[in-house]
Structure 1
Amino acid sequence: MTAPTDTQLIDFVLDEAAMLDALRFEDWLQLFTEDGHYWMPLAHGQTDPRLHASLLYEDKLLLQVRVARLAGARTFSQQPVSRCHHLLQQPRVLARDDAAGIFTCRTSFHYVETRQDTQTLYAGWATHTLVQQAGALRIREKRVDLVNCDAAFGSMQLFM
């Protein structure tokens, strides 16, 4: 299997954000490995999601539950639906292990989530740990570090 180029890794990260902005959550979920996680630390420099509280630490099953909830006809918090927009800086490839098929990208972002008259802005960094599986890139972990991770937050409906 040929290792992806840096450009292919960067395009994967950009395409993932575009998929979220288009509210294609079922397709987005398929980007994760079966052991994949979506992690949002509660503290700067947090190194372990299991030993410390996090804003979010969701495995693929919990992500599936959230995606199903967003699509549910009785999800009143989504009538009308929330929308989002990712504004990304150029992702950087931080590490690559071509032999193992493991790659790490980091992206600075501004993210806006809106529903009716409420618009909320978040800023931070997304770190993707990507792996090659069956000839395709998949997300093993997406870590979202918010600049103000220790602030009090309202309900985050979508995915950053």
Structure 2
Amino acid sequence: MNTALITQVAAFLWQEADMLDHGEYPQWLESWTTDGLYIVPINPDETDFENTLNYACDNAAMRAKRVARLGSGESISTSPVPRTIRSVSRFRVLADDGEVVTVRCAQNLREFRKDVQKHYSADVTFELVRTAGSFLIRRKIIRLINSTDTLQGIGYIL
């Protein structure tokens, strides 16, 4: 086990979670490759994302539009703005070819909005492209453990 790599990956993913919890969406957009995909499949076992229905399958343009909607105040799902806290843990490197690191982790997200608290748990798989001393996200797949009966409307990025 490469503990130095796990430490570097964990620090990067903790930073991503913190950016999302604090609404730092422009910085979050900068942490992606231009060809990156943000994917939230309806079926957590799905692997053919381009040919199936997903909650999200966002390329760079769609991520930018999602961020613009979140910041506009015009989306009903963002009024009032939900407060979130996410915990990311259980990091496991699945592959490392020297350029791209594929890692799977657990994410637990708590949302508080309109005096109601919700909880979402997911297995998240990242493809991270090495850059000078850090990473960029090429793919983020959020597999909610109860996606078919839980996800209704969200006003943030999972």
Q: TM-score, normalised by structure 2?
A: 0.88
- 2:90 counterpart SS class: coil
Gap change, CA 1:46 and 1:24, over 3 Å in 2: same
Aligned-residue sequence identity (percent) comes to: 31
Matched ranges for 1:82-121 at <5 A:
82-98=82-98, 101-121=99-119
What is residue 54 of structure 2 aligned with on the other side? Answer: 54
Alignment RMSD (CA, Å): 1.8
Q: Which amino acid aligns with 2:126?
A: H
Larger relative helix fraction:
2
Q: TM-score, normalised by structure 1?
A: 0.87
- 1:13 counterpart SS class: helix
Q: Which amino acid aligns with 1:143?
A: I
- 2:157 counterpart SS class: coil
What is residue 81 of structure 2 aligned with on the other side? Answer: 81
* Residues 112 and 121, structure 1, Cα contact 8 Å, conserved in 2: yes
Tell me, in whole angstroms, the C-alpha distance in 2 between the residues paired with 1:150 and 1:73: 27
Residue 152 of structure 1, CA deviation: 5.3
Gap change, CA 1:133 and 1:125, over 3 Å in 2: same
Tell me, in whole angstroms, the C-alpha distance in 1 between the residues paired with 2:123 and 2:76: 30
What is residue 147 of structure 2 aligned with on the other side? Answer: 149
Q: Which runs of 5+ in 1 are unaligned?
A: none
Gap change, CA 1:12 and 1:43, over 3 Å in 2: same
Residue 135 of structure 1, CA deviation: 5.5
Residue 25 of structure 1, CA deviation: 1.0
Q: Which runs of 5+ in 2 are unaligned?
A: none
Q: Which amino acid aligns with 2:81?
A: V
* Residues 106 and 126, structure 1, Cα contact 8 Å, conserved in 2: yes
